[in-house]
Amino acid sequence: MGHEKRSDDKHGFVFNIQRYSLHDGPGIRTIVFLKGCPLRCQWCSNPESQKVSPEVALNSRKCIGTKECGFCARECRDGAIIEKDDGQIRIDRNACSECFRCVDACPSKAMTLFGRLMSVDEVLRNVEADGIFYGRSGGGMTLSGGEPLMQPGFARELLKEARRRRINTSLETCGFVDWKVLEAACFHLDTILFDIKSMDPVKHKAFTGVTNELILDNFERLCREFPNLSKRVRTPVVPGFNDTMEEIGAIVDFIKGRPNIEYEMLAYHRYGQPKYEYLDRVYTLSDVHLDDGRMSELRGMAKERLGKLALENEPTEPRVRMEAPCATCGS
Ligand code: SF4
Ligand code: SF4
CA distances from 204 to 168, 215, 240 (A): 32, 11, 12
Query: For residues 164 and 159, what is the distance between their CA atoms, to the nearest angstrom?
Result: 9
Residues 251-265: tens digit of each pLDDT: 999 999 999 999 999
What domains sit in the chain, N to C, each tagged with a CATH number? 11-53+115-306 (3.20.20.70), 56-114 (3.30.70.20)
CA 15 to ligand 2 center in whole angstroms: 22
Task: Tell me what pLDDT residue 8 has.
Answer: 87
Per residue in 64-101, pLDDT tens? 999 999 999 999 999 999 999 999 999 999 999 999 99
What are the φ/ψ torsions at residue 230 (nearest 5 degrees)?
Answer: -70, 125
pLDDT, tens digit, 9 for 90 and up, residues 125-148: 999 998 888 878 889 999 999 999
- Running DSSP on this structure, what letter comes out for residue 31? E
pLDDT, position 3? 66
CA-proximal residue: ligand 2, atom 2 (nearest)? 106
Q: 120-128 and 152-164 helices cross at what angle (nearest 10)?
A: 40
pTM: 0.90
Give dist(CA 256, CA 262) in Å, integer.
9
Find out whether the beta carbon of 75 lies less than 6 Å from any atom of ligand 1.
Answer: yes
Ligand 1 in reach of 102 Cβ (< 6 A): yes
Cβ of 80 below 6 Å from ligand 2: no
Please give the angle made by the CA atoms of 114, 116 and 118, to the nearest 5 degrees.
150
Between the CA of 66 and the centroid of ligand 2 the distance, in Å, is: 7
How many angstroms does the Cα of residue 172 sit away from the middle of ligand 2? 36
Segment holding 264, helix H or strand E: strand 261-267
Which has the closest alpha carbon to 116: 163, 57, 39, 160? 57
The per-residue pLDDT for 5 is: 65
Average pLDDT on 306-319 reads: 61
Instruction: Look at residue 324 and tell me whether its pLDDT is greater than 50.
Output: no
Q: Measure CA 292 to chain center.
A: 24
For residue 262 and ligand 1, the question of a CB distance below 6 A is answered with no
Residue 82's φ and ψ, nearest 5 degrees, are: -105, 130
Evaluate if residue 319 carries a pLDDT over 60: no
Q: How far apart are CA 34 and CA 44, in angstroms?
A: 15
Distance CA 294, CA 43 (A): 18
Asked if 47 contacts 156 with a C-beta cutoff of 8 angstroms, the reply is no
* 163-214 pLDDT, tens digit each: 999 999 999 999 999 999 999 999 999 999 999 999 999 999 999 999 999 9
Cis peptide before 140 (omega within 30 of 0): no
How does pLDDT run across 36-53, given as a tens digit for each residue?
Answer: 999 999 999 999 999 999
The answer to whether 99 and 77 are in contact (CB under 8 A) is: yes
Contact 153, 45 (CB under 8 A): no
CA proximity to 155, closest of 135, 178, 130, 134 = 178
Listing DSSP states for 129-156 in one string gives TTHHHHHHHT-EEEEESS-GGGSHHHHH
Across all residues in the chain, what is the average pLDDT?
A: 91
Q: What are phi and psi of 111, to 5 degrees?
A: -95, 125
- How far, in Å, CA of 107 to CA of 143, rounded? 32
Distance 282 CA to ligand 2 centre (A): 23
